[in-house]
């Protein structure tokens, strides 16, 4: 088969060949009828009849703000990676290559929307007002994240693969039960130089978004979340970042159809978007959120992207994937296409790009200084924040531990 085509079942007993499976999963990574793309890797704006109107209000200034987001998020990620390599963090989960998927979708959210991340959504955290320094304690082992999930509308990171989909489904069902669905939000504006959702057009409804990777789609929790969200028309956007690798297992080993098509089996729409195109991710997520908040039920978005780094800093991606695959995806860099578009189509000069780079350097320095100055909590910290209300049992255990710790210290002294 010289040019394998995606498999279209015509007989329930038929099965796709390996080439057809791969073609169906990866056949649109250069663009095609299934992939939503508004900004090509070469920085050219291309039309899309369905989703253009969800990006029609994006100005050159908005694009500058999105570019700034992408650069600062990448720098924060690289700094976290470096801090782990220097022994300052126990682990880091990189997002290199996935900045557009996270920033585009994160900037589509309205202030009242709720977000449930996994453990790689540093870019979404940025869009929800969570400073990168607030992530460091998780990976240094000193806390579970210091942001307020109620104020930021950004849930704490979830380490158990796929569990956040159940949490998000339950939360979105609550939005439905409490009559918080019905209305739409559209428009991107800027505040303090950062792109964000603009003013609402009429009454607004709430929606929820849940992030997970392609590997998580093999977990039962994700499918249970699909079932519950569909059964109750929950206003929930399932946002799958398909970065092609579930640690060392490629996507074609996990599914026989493109991931977005799985939504059909649960009775709600699915769409595949170029996950390296921040403009397309913004537009598609706006559409999906509008579908949810106006009462049409859940939506699945598959952001087709690539994990340029290892799964975590404890992983070595060179053991299971080829270097030429990584080099191919470097040509689709999400930051470079916005930079080229700004320079060619909007006349943005070197002064702007240099200023953003300088701001990124300052962010990196601030993260390093913050990390190295973080206090080391005592072992009694394990007893804090166990329950919302005081617990006599936990308090007794804490007292016993402190007494034991004190006696142990006396023996060493």
The catalytic residue positions are 307, 311, 320
Closest CA to 335 of 281, 278, 274: 278
Q: Distance between CA atoms of 279 and 300, rounded to whole angstroms? A: 18
Q: Distance between CA atoms of 210 and 238, rounded to whole angstroms? A: 5
Strand partners, 197: 188
Q: Distance between CA atoms of 283 and 148, rounded to whole angstroms? A: 28
Total residues belonging to the chain: 413
Tokens of 36: 């939503």
**Contact status, residue 5 vs residue 19, Cβ threshold 8 Å:** no
Long-range (24+ apart) CB contacts under 8 A made by 256-259 are: 256/7, 256/16, 256/21, 256/24, 257/7, 257/24, 258/6, 258/24, 258/25, 258/34, 258/302, 259/214, 259/217, 259/300, 259/302
Closest CA to 88 of 97, 77, 75, 79: 79
Q: Work out the number of other CB atoms within 10 angstroms of the CB of residue 356.
A: 19
CA distances from 346 to 15, 276, 297 (A): 49, 20, 38
**Contact status, residue 250 vs residue 290, Cβ threshold 8 Å:** no
Dihedrals φ, ψ of 396, to 5°?
-65, -40
Dihedrals φ, ψ of 80, to 5°?
-60, -40
Q: Tokens 């849930």, residue?
A: 155
């Amino acid at each position: 088969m010289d040019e394998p085509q995606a498999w279209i079942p015509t007989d329930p007993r038929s099965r796709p060949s390996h080439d057809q499976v791969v073609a169906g999963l990866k056949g649109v990574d250069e663009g095609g009828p299934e992939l939503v793309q508004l900004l090509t890797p070469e920085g050219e704006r291309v039309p899309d009849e369905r989703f253009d109107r969800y990006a029609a209000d994006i100005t050159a200034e908005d694009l500058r703000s999105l570019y700034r987001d992408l650069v600062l998020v990448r720098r924060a990620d690289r700094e976290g990676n470096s801090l782990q390599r220097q022994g300052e963090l126990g682990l880091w989960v990189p997002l290199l290559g996935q900045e557009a998927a996270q920033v585009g979708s994160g900037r589509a959210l309205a202030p009242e929307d709720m977000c449930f991340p996994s453990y790689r959504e540093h870019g979404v955290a940025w869009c929800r007002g969570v400073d990168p320094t607030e992530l460091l304690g998780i990976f240094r082992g000193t806390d579970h994240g210091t942001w307020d999930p109620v104020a930021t509308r950004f849930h704490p990171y979830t380490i158990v693969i796929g569990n956040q989909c159940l949490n998000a489904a339950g939360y979105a069902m609550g939005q439905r039960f409490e009559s918080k669905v019905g209305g739409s939000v559209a428009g991107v504006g800027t505040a303090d130089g950062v792109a964000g959702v603009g003013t609402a057009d009429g009454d607004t409804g709430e929606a929820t978004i849940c992030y997970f990777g392609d590997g998580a789609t093999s977990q039962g929790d994700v499918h249970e979340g699909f079932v519950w969200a569909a059964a109750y028309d929950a206003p929930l956007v399932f946002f799958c970042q398909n970065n092609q690798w579930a640690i060392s297992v490629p996507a074609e080993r996990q599914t026989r159809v493109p991931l977005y098509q799985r939504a059909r089996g649960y009775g709600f729409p699915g769409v595949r978007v170029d996950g390296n195109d921040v403009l397309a991710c913004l537009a598609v997520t706006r559409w999906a959120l509008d579908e949810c908040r106006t009462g049409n039920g859940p939506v699945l978005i598959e952001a087709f992207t690539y994990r340029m780094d290892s799964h975590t800093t404890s992983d070595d991606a060179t053991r299971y994937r080829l270097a030429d695959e990584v080099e191919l995806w470097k040509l689709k860099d999400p930051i470079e296409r916005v930079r080229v578009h700004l320079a060619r189509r909007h006349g943005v000069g070197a002064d702007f790009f240099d200023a953003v780079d300088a701001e990124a350097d300052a962010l990196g320095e601030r993260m390093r200084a913050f990390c190295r100055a973080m206090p080391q909590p005592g072992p009694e910290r394990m007893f804090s924040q166990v329950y919302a209300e005081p617990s006599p049992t936990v308090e007794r255990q804490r007292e016993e531990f402190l007494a034991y710790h004190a006696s142990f210290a006396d023996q060493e002294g």
